[in-house]
Structure 1
Amino acid sequence: MKKITLLLAAFIGLTALQSCTIEEYYDENYVDGYSQVFELTNETISTQEDAYTYSATWNFTTAIFDSDNVLVYRWQGNSWTLVPVSYNLGGNDMVKYDYDFTRFDVKVYFSANFPVNELSNAEYNEFVYRQTFRVVVVPGGFAQKINYNDYNATISALGLENAPIKTLKLKK
């Protein structure tokens, strides 16, 4: 009798502990409806996380799918550079950009291995003040191999060469 009760309790416990899943369906061959490009122009990365890190957060206009991925590129005057990226300022001084994202927003971080307020005016203007980024949403079902380091190749593979580039609002 104890064995039956134990087996019944184990079965009920396993059944109760099953997680719910939410499935998102979209046609993997239909890229244009899900791939998007956003531009963040003349933005100052001004939210101080700590002495070494500043950030800025932008809300997506509509939530992206859980399965989607996000790429962030930084404009360097003549080309787009994939983030994360680091820059050597000389000596042991380094600065870098990184990012994270949720379904609802994307956050770009600027950090240094020294207090950010010790940047020279020229360094501040080059790395923090009036930055331009492009955010590319890549569908989770997109399986084509791409050199994501090359912004133009990424946009071309996603079929976004003529797509409108949308803007995002800075989260306050």
Structure 2
Amino acid sequence: MKKILTLFAVVGLIAFSSCEGPEGPPGVPGPPGQDAVIAEVFELQNVNFDYNATDGFNIYRKLTPNIFDSDVVLIYRLIGTINPTTPIWQQIPRTVYTSKGDFDYDFDFSKTDFTIYAGGSYDLNLTPEFIKNQTFRIVIVPGAFSSTTGKSVNKPDYSDYNEVIKKYNIDDSNVKILK
């Protein structure tokens, strides 16, 4: 009797496992893969630094939408062009040495805003070419907090704007202009 019941169980299992019905609807897409990152680029064109007694010369802007806590903001200043279609971007923070003294560009950011600062060892109004009609590229690089330490990550040279653009597959031919 046990052999007959075992035989029916095996035959039933094979019969039910080979049944096939119509294909169901596709499921909800899963999260992007590890290599799928979305970076953004914004540009401030021909902006002047504002001055206030508390912060000195600065440019302040809100980030909309807010960025994630793990994201990083990189800022580059347009320092010239090779030709009309090839700009030269220089990462800040940066110190510029002038005949009047040292001039510094720096910045800070949070998940809701960023501020670019200009400072120096002299009256910055003496060098308006560094505080008026400036153009900056703001690159938001997505990140994730690591749960491991010492893991090798293939990061680009962040001081090289073109390498960052290439690494994160950023199309900078249509950069959003910030007001």
Q: Same fold (TM over 0.5)?
A: yes
Partner of 1:36: 40
Deviation at 1:145, TM superposition (A): 1.6
Larger RCO, structures 1/2 (Cα 8 Å, 6+ apart): 1
> Which segments of 5 or more consecutive residues in structure 2 lack a partner in the other structure?
1-30, 82-87, 146-152
41-50 or 105-114, larger mean C-alpha shift? 41-50
After superposition, residues 21-170 of structure 1 pair within 5 angstroms as: 27-32=33-38, 35-50=39-54, 53-78=56-81, 79-90=88-99, 93-117=101-125, 119=126, 123-124=127-128, 126-141=129-144, 143-161=153-171, 164-169=174-179
> Pairwise CA RMSD of aligned residues?
2.2
Deviation at 1:163, TM superposition (A): 6.2
Asked if 1 retains the 8 angstrom alpha-carbon contact of 2:165 and 2:172, the reply is no
- How many residue pairs were aligned? 136
Looking at structure 1, the residues matched to 36 and 41 of structure 2 have their Cα atoms a distance apart, in angstroms, of 16
Deviation at 1:28, TM superposition (A): 3.4
Deviation at 1:137, TM superposition (A): 0.5
Looking at structure 2, the residues matched to 165 and 146 of structure 1 have their Cα atoms a distance apart, in angstroms, of 20
What amino acid is the match of 2:97? Answer: N
Percent identity over the alignment is 35
Looking at structure 2, the residues matched to 133 and 69 of structure 1 have their Cα atoms a distance apart, in angstroms, of 16
Deviation at 1:58, TM superposition (A): 1.0
Deviation at 1:49, TM superposition (A): 4.2
Against the structure 1 CA distance between its residues 28 and 141, is the aligned structure 2 distance closer, same or farther, given a 3 Å change threshold?
A: farther
Deviation at 1:27, TM superposition (A): 4.7
